[in-house]
Amino acid sequence: MGKRVGMEVSIAAAEVVGLCDVDVIAAYPITPQTHIVEHLSELVADGHLDAEFIPVESEHSAMSTCVGSAAAGARTFTSTSSQGYALMAEICYIASSMRLPIVMAVANRALSAPINIWNDHADMMMARDTGWIQTVAENGQEVVDLILHAFRVAEDHRVLLPVMVNLDGFTLSHMIEPIILPDKEEVDRYLPPYKPKLRLDPQNPMTFGPVGMPEVYTEAKKAQDEAVKESKAVIVEAWQEFEKQFGRSYKPVETYKAEDAETLLLTMGSISETAMTAVDKMRADGQKVGLAHLRLWRPFPAEELVDAVKGAKALAVVDRALSLSGGCGPVCVEVKSTLFDRGLSPYVQNFLAGLGGRDVTVEDFETMVAKVGDGLAKGLPMGYEIVNARE
Amino acid sequence: MVEIRFHGRGGQGGVTSAELTALAAIEEGKYAQAFPSFGPERRGAPVMAFVRVSDQQIRTREKVYSPNMVVVLDPTLLEIVDVQAGVPDDGILVVNTKMSVDELRKNAGLTRRLAVVDASTIAIETLRVPITNTTMLGALIKATGVISVDALRGPVQKRFGPIAEKNLQACMRAYEETVVEG
């Protein structure tokens, strides 16, 4: 049985990567991801983890090394944040297009300029179109569980895609809280040994990542799009297996007091916990408010989203990254597109909140719900608002 | 739910105090969060760290705005930091100072309930360094009972290894010597 411990979330993340028998870790330290990588290098240096730790000179090299090691058939992990992700982005497209099951934890952080080391979702949104599966944690336990889940999904021969596990920088990465760490036997039961479908092998040479002429590029991309879409069934299946074994349930779109809600908050990441407290408070005041929160960002869980929000008259969608001058933030774009395609038209307001480490409070959620109620009643135009910006 | 704010200077162990408090509470089967004021760290600069302790699962990621308890690790901070900021009327401040409760109230203009201990002297005499983190935990425990000394033992052993016993001695001595306003 796993044991309940008080632990910094980054350390727990590194511990579970160790329990997963990872073969290769190639990473470059960057705030606020640093403790994850530091602890993994300690585990290897102290002989607790039999893996190659490759301290590369940049994130571009980190992902390049991961591509090589995954293609050679090694279970591979890395971690980054923000500018580090920006530097490795070129190779991230290659990792997913070559169908390499790399797992990466991203301690989400804003992008410069101005230079900002604090939390928002700019980096995961930059990764949106790379073809990686993206899951999102709301607390330390979920970071541990989602990393374990990520290896199982990535390496499944029906998937073979890299997985990014997102955890809010500082807000989660630097938090000490109670976490149930699984023991080795439990991890082994859930995560079978990695059996590569294809691998680089001098005895059996083959080409990975050749040129795709105009005659084949479109077909290659269509196949990749289908692979990402089809991965959802395996992601859900792996969560169901996880629940059977560990008793903790995960779904692509989670809900909280949403059944009879007239107004729904829609969030992603650790602010969802604060939003639950806000929902409790508003429910106590007699307001029919609930919460839908995204656990899976890519593949986008459109059907599950519709199921979660179809009864609501109004939605307050929170985004933590900007799509400058676009109609709304990236999460709200998906929400509106999903609803429009199905002829659904609730009142939707988009709130850009928690940028570059700005706190998102219970009061902020109450204000959002009030604004959406007001907008619906008065027929105000839908759009987006950058919350709490000083004029 | 109880919220605690620690004021120290970079290098004095304020963050460690917060961590040990949370780890002790978790050891007792409670829920807890400990976190620093996120950002770059500088030795000697005023720093804060935060703890939440609850019997129920803690479902908030807000910053701590109105702590019920404040621990001041360094007396020189009283002149430059408003250590009472956001503390509700029934809150308590636990302060490392050579002053008595009455002197401290008068000199620092503090209006909340106070607990005082000369943690710097205890730390120097017991640990030979002016690091007051474990010492002030003894004062916090005496003043509030938010955790128990027994639950602190494991986390202190793990963190301090060979000097754990001395740190526990400093903690216990502070527990004995802390004066808590009635």
- Sorted by where each begins, the domain ranges of chain B are 2-180
Tell me, what's the pLDDT at A307? 97
Whether B60 and A360 lie within 8 Å, measured CB to CB: no
Whether A176 and B62 lie within 8 Å, measured CB to CB: no
pLDDT tens sequence across A32-91: 999 999 999 999 999 999 999 999 999 999 999 999 999 999 999 999 999 999 999 999
Whether B19 and A176 lie within 8 Å, measured CB to CB: yes
Count other C-beta atoms under 10 Å from residue B10's C-beta. Answer: 15
A170 touches chain B (CB under 8 A): yes
Residue B39 has pLDDT above 90, yes or no: no
- What is the CATH code of the structural domain delimited by A3-246? 3.40.50.970
B26 touches chain A (CB under 8 A): yes
Residue B49 Cα, gap to closest chain A Cα (Å): 11
CA A21 to CA A138: how far, in whole Å?
25
Tell me, what's the pLDDT at A57? 97
Enumerate the residues of chain A whose CB falls inside 8 A of the CB of residue B21: none
Residue A9 Cα, gap to closest chain B Cα (Å): 11
User: CB under 8 Å to A159, separation ≥6 — which residues?
Assistant: A101, A133, A153, A227, A230, A231, A234, A235
Residue B43 has pLDDT above 90, yes or no: no
Enumerate the residues of chain B whose CB falls inside 8 A of the CB of residue A362: 60, 62
B56 touches chain A (CB under 8 A): no
Averaged pLDDT, B73-79: 95
Tell me, what's the pLDDT at B78? 95
Tell me, what's the pLDDT at A314? 98
Nearest CA in chain A to B56: A178
A6 touches chain B (CB under 8 A): yes
Whether A177 and B32 lie within 8 Å, measured CB to CB: yes
Whether A176 and B33 lie within 8 Å, measured CB to CB: yes
Enumerate the residues of chain A whose CB falls inside 8 A of the CB of residue B33: 175-177
Place of tokens 């995960």: A250
User: CB under 8 Å to A219, separation ≥6 — which residues?
Assistant: none
Nearest to A101 by CA among A161, A47, A43, A58: A161
Return the CATH fold of B2-180: Pyruvate-ferredoxin Oxidoreductase; domain 3 (3.40.920)
Enumerate the residues of chain B whose CB falls inside 8 A of the CB of residue A270: 61
User: CB under 8 Å to B69, separation ≥6 — which residues?
Assistant: B2, B3, B4, B5, B91, B92, B93, B94, B140, B143, B144, B146
Place of tokens 């939003």: A275
- What is the CATH code of the structural domain delimited by A253-386? 3.40.50.920
Q: For chain B, how big is the Rg over CA atoms in Å?
A: 15
Strand partners, B70: B5, B93
Tell me, what's the pLDDT at B82? 96
Strands (E) in A56-96, as ranges, are 76-80
CA A62 to CA A79: how far, in whole Å?
9
Residue ranges in chain A modelled with pLDDT below 70: none
A330's tokens: 């990236």
Nearest CA in chain A to B30: A178
Whether B62 and A362 lie within 8 Å, measured CB to CB: yes
B19 touches chain A (CB under 8 A): yes
Q: Could you report how far apart the first and last alpha carbons of chain A are, in Å?
A: 54
B167 pLDDT band (50/70/90 cuts)? Answer: very high
Nearest CA in chain A to B61: A274
B62 touches chain A (CB under 8 A): yes
Q: How far is CA A328 from the centre of its chain?
A: 20
Q: Return the higher-pLDDT residue of A256 and B41.
A: A256
Tell me, what's the pLDDT at B38? 76
Cβ-contact A89, A106 below 8 angstroms: no
Nearest CA in chain B to A3: B27
Whether A117 and B39 lie within 8 Å, measured CB to CB: yes
Enumerate the residues of chain B whose CB falls inside 8 A of the CB of residue A6: 22-23, 25-27, 32, 155
B12 pLDDT band (50/70/90 cuts)? Answer: confident
pLDDT tens sequence across B96-144: 999 999 999 999 999 999 999 999 999 999 999 999 999 999 999 999 9
Whether B34 and A175 lie within 8 Å, measured CB to CB: yes
Whether A3-246 shares its CATH topology with A253-386 is answered yes
Nearest to B2 by CA among B58, B86, B84: B58
The domain limits of chain A are: 3-246, 253-386
Q: Return the higher-pLDDT residue of B140 and B40.
A: B140
Q: For chain A, how big is the Rg over CA atoms in Å?
A: 21
